[in-house]
Chains A and B, each alone.
Chain A
Amino acid sequence: MAPSADTPVETNGASSSKKPLTLYETSTQYKHWRFSASQLEERRRRMNETAVNAIRQVHKAEEEGSSSRISFLTFDEELLLVKQYLTTIPKMCKLHQFPEEVEATAMTFLKRFYLKNTVMDWHPRNVMLTAIYLATKTTNNPMAIDTYVANIPRTTANDVLELEFLVAQSLNFQLAVWGPHRAAWGVWLDLQTLQDWGKEEARDAFAAVEGYVSASRLTDAEFIYAPSQIAAAAWHLANPALLEKWLAAKGESGALPLIKSIASLIEKEGKTPDLAVARDVDARLKICKNPEKVEGSKAYLRRQAEHEQEAAAKRQKKAERAAKALADDPFATEPINGVEQNGSKIGEVDMDDDD
């Protein structure tokens, strides 16, 4: 990996503080979803460790024997599986005739989701289906849920909707996504303003650019680089001479080394993973996934019982509080709604429907 990939590429801070922000710089993508390559690796490694430890604890509590014989997924195996399901998204979108915006957005959603969650808790197949459905809504291409699941084998509307909250929350409700496909289109338009731009040549290149843009979606490029930089790399892969001419005309030839390093990232990582390897990982996932998430398992039932106990305790506490309010105020006929409740804090406000 090129050394420049270890630090966020855009210059920010003091030097650019006087310039007005570009539209991209005001986006939630710029503010919250940019990482260096090493940050990404560190994040995934840590999340994987935490998950493995937590699942070991669950096994211990269940006394289902030692978990030491289970071969848990490593963080790069998790990533491989996510990538496998990323490659399914374009096929699913084609099946439903969704526009490219849905495909691009859903792929970003899926990748972002697994920067916050592990596949051992949430299987990427289900998350993928929810990510696509959510993307149809956030990009204004809605489809009725029944129509959507009708084309997908062994999937109910509930399977898709069940994870919607979780996915939206993992995305921090940051739903606007900036992909390189628009920037690539922009370069195409801009090329046409150059003198002697070679219509045939540019048109042929643009067809190839779209392929490289799609390939870039299988990589971490969008977390590390700006959409315009990825688009330039796609053009460079399609026709280096043309892109270099364009860069020179824009006075941006200095960006060439960076663009080349993005281009090599796309060439190296922008490929469908080996299906046999992915299958093997998926098979192992069946054994090592978090038992608390497996419906009907002992751990699942224990968790459910715990949850119900908590809810009952909460109801009890609430009833006591209401009774106390009633006792304190002889004129009150019912608990006063305006009484501020203790113990709840914003972010986890107690707003159960049970009162």
Chain B
Amino acid sequence: MLNKLGEGTFGEVHKARSHVTGQLVALKRILMHEEREGIPITALREVKLLKKLKHPNVVPLVDMVVTKGAQTRMDYWSTKDSKGDIYMVFPYMDHDLAGLLENKSVRLSPGQIKLYMQQLLEGTDYLHRNNILHRDMKAANLLISNAGVLQIADFGLARPGHSKLAWDGIDIRKTRYTNCVVTRWYRPPELLLGETNYGFAIDMWGVGCVMGEMWLRRPMFCGSSDLNQLEKIWSLCGTPTEDNMPGWGLLPGCEGVKNWPRQERTVRQNFELSMLLLDPNRRITAAQALDHEWFWNDPMPADPKTYVD
């Protein structure tokens, strides 16, 4: 165990060195304090999902470590106050994108931004094709190695999306999820307005925010409250209308606060803003974004092989 790296949705992350392979790893501890319901369902979801996923731009779960307190046969011991801990083991990555962007001495060329965006979209497309909503897309959850590889991390809020087949008689149109997901600054307008039947487009809003953040070197919309967050979004994307966000007025969050002063979209349509469309149904998908000509214009995405940190 070397040092603490940070804190995630439900656990601390520590840097450590494997005594077996000698490699640096990140240990994510599943917090069990005051966990009335046993191992948190979010942790089980994350483990189950990660074991299924295998993609260069999705962080791989290398192993699970259980400390003394819960070993198998004969070694097993558990006293009431020390229950042992569960750690997820990931390869150690040098940076996260939020840290890189805060660091004034790091310059990102347009080619590098394209390289990262391409990898972010490849990873996101892979998740969505496998029917997984990440639900916490943000710069701090994107890990970057010194070799220029980007990996999507932190599946603590992720869950399967709508199944294509109606299974066990569940009507998919009635599926409801909690809308208390996604860090506020990266939360799309439909969630802020209380939508509970959302889809993959919520991740794409986050991807759009991350892209803007790479250009601006600061988060795009730093709302101080949910309402303030919406106002920040309206000031860039315009206030919602039946035209740019059909059905918005029916969302539960709109009650009592429908009268925003009319604002027009202040920016022209371009690649990143097709991810920041108010209407989730018109927002670009990861697969469409990867086909966008932006990736085929100069400057081309940087080659990770020539990448020097």
A residues engaging B (CB < 8 A)?
A: 26-28, 51, 54, 99-101, 116-118, 121, 133-134, 137-138, 140, 142, 144-145, 157, 160-162, 164-166, 168-170, 172-176, 182, 292, 303-304, 307, 337-338, 340-341, 344-354
Q: List CB contacts (< 8 Å) of B154-182 with chain A.
A: 159-160, 167-168
Give 1 or 0 for each of B24-54: 1 = CB within 8 Å of chain A CB. 0101000000001111010011011001101
Number of A-B contacts (CB under 8 A): 127
Chain B residues whose CB sits within 8 angstroms of the CB of A134 once the complex forms: 38-39, 44
User: Residue B38 contacts which of A99, A101, A145, A173 (CB distance < 8 angstroms)?
Assistant: A145
Chain A residues whose CB sits within 8 angstroms of the CB of B85 once the complex forms: 351
Determine if A347 and B54 form an interchain contact, defined as CB atoms under 8 angstroms apart: no
Which residue from chain B places its CB closest to the CB of A303 in the assembled complex?
Answer: B77
Determine if A346 and B18 form an interchain contact, defined as CB atoms under 8 angstroms apart: yes
**What is the CA–CA distance of A292 and B51 in the complex, to the nearest angstrom?**
34
Query: Quick check: is B236 within 8 A (CB to CB) of the other chain?
Result: no
Stretch at the interface among B67-75, B250-258, B269-277, B294-302: B67-75
Determine if B76 and A346 form an interchain contact, defined as CB atoms under 8 angstroms apart: no
Determine if A26 and B39 form an interchain contact, defined as CB atoms under 8 angstroms apart: no
Determine if B66 and A165 form an interchain contact, defined as CB atoms under 8 angstroms apart: yes
Determine if A28 and B2 form an interchain contact, defined as CB atoms under 8 angstroms apart: no
Chain B residues whose CB sits within 8 angstroms of the CB of A138 once the complex forms: 44-45, 48
Please indicate which of the listed interface residues A117, A162, A166 has the most CB atoms of chain B within 10 Å of its own CB: A166
User: Residue B72 contacts which of A164, A170, A174 (CB distance < 8 angstroms)?
Assistant: A170
**What is the CA–CA distance of A99 and B1 in the complex, to the nearest angstrom?**
42
Chain B residues whose CB sits within 8 angstroms of the CB of A51 once the complex forms: 73
Determine if A337 and B3 form an interchain contact, defined as CB atoms under 8 angstroms apart: yes
Determine if B38 and A160 form an interchain contact, defined as CB atoms under 8 angstroms apart: yes
CB distance from A127 to the nearest CB of B (A): 13
Query: Quick check: is B20 within 8 A (CB to CB) of the other chain?
Result: yes
Determine if B45 and A307 form an interchain contact, defined as CB atoms under 8 angstroms apart: no
**What is the CA–CA distance of A176 and B52 in the complex, to the nearest angstrom?**
8
User: Residue A338 contacts which of B3, B54, B68 (CB distance < 8 angstroms)?
Assistant: B3
Determine if B39 and A137 form an interchain contact, defined as CB atoms under 8 angstroms apart: yes
Chain A residues whose CB sits within 8 angstroms of the CB of B25 once the complex forms: 346
Determine if A351 and B67 form an interchain contact, defined as CB atoms under 8 angstroms apart: yes
**Contact (A165, B86) CB under 8 Å given A117-B73, A133-B38:** yes
User: Residue B76 contacts which of A166, A168, A172 (CB distance < 8 angstroms)?
Assistant: A166
Chain B residues whose CB sits within 8 angstroms of the CB of A349 once the complex forms: 1, 16, 27, 65, 67, 87
Give 1 or 0 for each of B2-23: 1 = CB within 8 Å of chain A CB. 1110000000000011111000
Determine if B79 and A307 form an interchain contact, defined as CB atoms under 8 angstroms apart: yes
Determine if A340 and B2 form an interchain contact, defined as CB atoms under 8 angstroms apart: yes
**Contact (A175, B51) CB under 8 Å given A54-B74, A346-B25:** yes
Determine if B66 and A346 form an interchain contact, defined as CB atoms under 8 angstroms apart: no
User: Residue B70 contacts which of A118, A169, A337, A345 (CB distance < 8 angstroms)?
Assistant: A169
**What is the CA–CA distance of A173 and B41 in the complex, to the nearest angstrom?**
13
**What is the CA–CA distance of A182 and B37 in the complex, to the nearest angstrom?**
29
**Contacts A117-B73, A345-B20 supplied; 17 other A-B pairs, CB < 8 Å:** A117-B72, A133-B38, A134-B38, A145-B37, A157-B36, A164-B38, A168-B86, A172-B64, A173-B51, A175-B47, A304-B77, A341-B1, A344-B19, A346-B65, A348-B65, A349-B67, A351-B1
Chain B residues whose CB sits within 8 angstroms of the CB of A338 once the complex forms: 2-3
User: Residue B84 contacts which of A157, A165, A303, A337 (CB distance < 8 angstroms)?
Assistant: A165
**What is the CA–CA distance of A160 and B87 in the complex, to the nearest angstrom?**
21
Please indicate which of the listed interface residues B38, B48, B52, B67 has the most CB atoms of chain A within 10 Å of its own CB: B38
Determine if A166 and B18 form an interchain contact, defined as CB atoms under 8 angstroms apart: no
**What is the CA–CA distance of A173 and B64 in the complex, to the nearest angstrom?**
7
Determine if A116 and B47 form an interchain contact, defined as CB atoms under 8 angstroms apart: no
Query: Quick check: is B281 within 8 A (CB to CB) of the other chain?
Result: no
Query: Quick check: is B78 within 8 A (CB to CB) of the other chain?
Result: yes
**What is the CA–CA distance of A133 and B36 in the complex, to the nearest angstrom?**
13
Determine if A145 and B74 form an interchain contact, defined as CB atoms under 8 angstroms apart: no
**What is the CA–CA distance of A28 and B70 in the complex, to the nearest angstrom?**
22
**Contact (A340, B79) CB under 8 Å given A168-B39, A175-B47:** no
CB distance from A313 to the nearest CB of B (A): 13
